[in-house]
Amino acid sequence: MGLDVVVMLSVLALVIGLLALTRIAPDVVLLGSLTLLMVFPVPGEEGWRLGVLTPAEAISGLSNPGPVTVGVLFIVVVGLRETGGVDWLARRVLGRPRSLHGAQLRIVGPVAGLSAFLNNTPVVAMLIPVVDEWAKKLGLSASKLMIPLSYAAILGGMCTLIGTSTNLVVNGLVIAETDMPGLGMFDITWVGLPCTLVGLAYLMLVGRRLLPDRRSVTSRMEDPREYTMEMLVEAGSPLDGQSIDAAGLRHLPGAYLVEINRHGDVLPAVGPEQRLKAHDRLVFVGIVESIKDLQKIRGLTPATDQVFRLDAPRHRRCLIEAVVSNTCPLVGKTIRDGRFRTLYHAAVIAVARNNERIRAKIGDIVLRPGDTLLLEAHPSFATQQRNSRDFFLVSAVEDSTPRRHHKAWTATLILAAMVAVVTLGWMSMLVASMLAAGLMIITRCCSTDAARRSVDWSVLIVIAAALGIGRAIDQTGTARVIAETVLGVAGQNPWVALAAVYIITMMFTELITNNAAVALVFPIAMATADKLGVNFMPFVIVIMVAGSASFATPLGYQTNLMVYGPGGYRFSDYLKLGIPMNLVMGVTTVTLAPLFWPF
């Protein structure tokens, strides 16, 4: 074993240890480890040299299509979110389950089915914001839903030859390196489908109890500011004629519908079956997060007409909180008489006052020092008024831009077209996603600023750094040393050898990319089958399944990395849930493969 292998194993142990035992951000850990691999001296052909990897090799992951594709998909998703397409998907596909278990079932079934025929990366990228918004509306922790989303996508990909690129890579190796015919579309299904069913059963019966319950700080704390806000039902909107319950206005987290004002008649204590009518004025009381969500519902607009008299288009505005100071010139005046919109170029859409219910209409409210105003204005308002003596505090509300509902179908069609051209093999995932992202901006489904802000650079850095570390594992021969050691223990028993191949492939998948793992293990497994004089087909199936079955770390599969941040997970969460899942998948695969393709 050379020094470079020892260095590689040490760095690998350091990465796993830091991710599992500390709260240091994954991008920092992986970048630090990559730096060590570039600066640690190791012996070379012409004496000592600096680094296991050259700088070009270390950062080669940045030019890999994987992280670039994920980065571009963030832009596609933000176009879907800003047009309200995300809300439509949540309402139509996921519905309103009555329990956490029901919510998890509504995710894993459809996702596994879609991933059997579609690339699972765009499926997960599309559904992350959907599930996140859905969890907020249901009052559930996203950490209870994001790992099931990723795992279901991985499991579904095992069911068909086109379900994941790993299956296609292995099939290509079979055709190129052996005299065997390639696999058919559903040959893998004989093992993949039972594995998927067993995996989903484990996830729903056992795994769901191991999922952490991590809510954001804002969701755990009760916001002392409760705003009173009036919303108007637009004529001809989807809400016109719907019941309160069907419109999703009955169980709002952090807000409740107080009354309906219908042509001057007040309807208090509104029941769930009460039907909405055009021009109804709905009075809500709730915290700012809930008021922000009301702004996103298609068919509801602020009852004050002042928002439509502002200069900037609505999709370029955001919500801003401002606390009225005792030196504000409008103190003692109504919002209308003080000409708030004209003076500040902002519209007041809600007011909070010491948890007091303000029964007057927005324009008739007399301002007092300490009143918290929720404004709709251009983002520059926060910068312009931050040091003003008229307000004690001014802060923008994150992700509060009104939705461009008239563009929802455009965004949905762009997404559907992207998935279709990839599925039909007309374009690669990278090219299709770049084209879709460009169309989202060109058709104004999202702005260029929103597109820039949507890219989660920490995720891309983690993926790129993981690819660099995987390359080091391959180049130093560390992977081959591990594989030969494990297979040496297997002896002459084909069942033990098959299990050893599964374990090796699974380990490499967790640490390096899945496609690199199967390409590395394939010739070793072929030599093992030849040495034992047994059918190679069970080994092919085992490599396919183990190459996709990455559950124990967030590093082995892109979808695991994509849900890492939105779910608020730690490295140890994947270990607790994923190691038993890996064992279940291993036992199922090693048992079934030789039954369908005997040794």
Whether residue 336 sits in one domain with residue 432: no
In tens digits, what is the pLDDT along the chain, a chain of 599 residues? 678 788 888 887 887 788 767 778 778 888 888 888 888 877 766 667 777 888 888 888 777 777 787 788 788 878 887 887 766 666 666 777 778 888 899 899 888 988 887 777 777 877 887 788 788 777 788 899 999 999 999 999 888 887 787 888 888 888 877 888 878 888 899 999 999 999 999 999 998 889 998 764 444 444 556 787 888 888 888 888 888 888 878 767 777 788 888 887 888 767 888 888 888 888 888 787 777 778 777 788 887 765 656 666 666 778 888 999 999 999 999 988 888 888 888 888 888 887 677 777 788 889 999 898 988 888 888 888 888 889 988 888 877 777 777 788 888 889 888 878 877 778 877 888 899 999 999 998 888 888 888 887 877 787 788 778 777 877 887 767 776 776 677 667 889 889 988 988 888 888 766 777 787 788 778 878 887 888 999 999 999 999 888 898 887 777 888 888 888 898 889 999 999 999 999 999 999 999 999 98
DSSP letter, residue 428: -
Answer yes or no: is 227 within a domain.
no
CA-CA distance, 599 to 590, in Å (whole number)?
Answer: 12
Question: Are residues 440 and 391 part of one domain?
Answer: no
Does any domain span residue 266?
Answer: no
What residues are paired with 231 via a beta bridge?
Answer: 282, 302
In a domain, 51, yes or no: no
Residues 418 and 373 in one domain: no
Residues 71, 209 within the same domain: yes
Q: Cβ(296)–Cβ(87) under 8 Å?
A: yes
Question: Of 330, 365, 398, at which residue does a domain stop?
Answer: 398
The angle at the Cα of 76, spanning 70 to 78, to the nearest 5 degrees, equals: 105
User: What integer pLDDT is reported at residue 89 of this predicted model?
Assistant: 66
In a domain, residue 512? The reply is no
Domain range holding 75? 65-216+412-457
Cα gap 212→577, rounded to integer Å: 10
Assess whether 452 and 335 both reside in one domain. no
Same domain? For 324 and 393 the reply is: yes
* 359 and 433 within one domain: no
For residue 529, give Cα distances in angstroms to 89, 143, 475, 539. Answer: 48, 42, 25, 8
Residue type for 38, please?
Answer: M
Here the CATH number for the domain that contains residue 384 is 3.30.70
Could you tell me if 338 and 427 lie in one domain?
A: no
Q: Using alpha carbons, select from 323, 261, 256 the residue that is nearest to residue 293.
A: 256
Does 129 lie in the same domain as 75? yes
DSSP 47: E
Per-residue pLDDT at 134: 81
Are residue 114 and residue 189 in the same domain, yes or no?
A: yes
User: Does residue 425 belong to any structural domain of this protein?
Assistant: yes
Q: Is residue 79 part of a domain?
A: yes
Domain assignment present for 99: yes
CA–CA gap between residue 2 and residue 6 (Å, rounded)? 7
Site of tokens 């801003």: 320
Count other C-beta atoms under 10 Å from residue 314's C-beta: 16
pTM score of the predicted model: 0.68
Number of domains within the chain: 2
Rounded CA gap, 351 and 267, in Å? 22
Residue 504: inside a domain? no
The 3-state DSSP composition of the chain as helix, strand, coil percent (nearest 5) reads 55, 10, 30
Residue 350: predicted pLDDT:
85
Q: What DSSP line would sit under 320-336, residue for residue?
A: EEEEEPTT-TTTTSBTT
198 and 129 in one domain? yes
Q: How far apart are CA 4 and CA 492, in angstroms?
A: 31
Does residue 183 sit in helix, strand or coil? coil
State whether 151 and 198 are in the same domain.
yes
At residue 561, the pLDDT reads 82
260, 280 Cβ separation under 8 angstroms: yes
Q: Helix (H, G, I), strand (E, B), or coil: what is residue 50?
A: strand
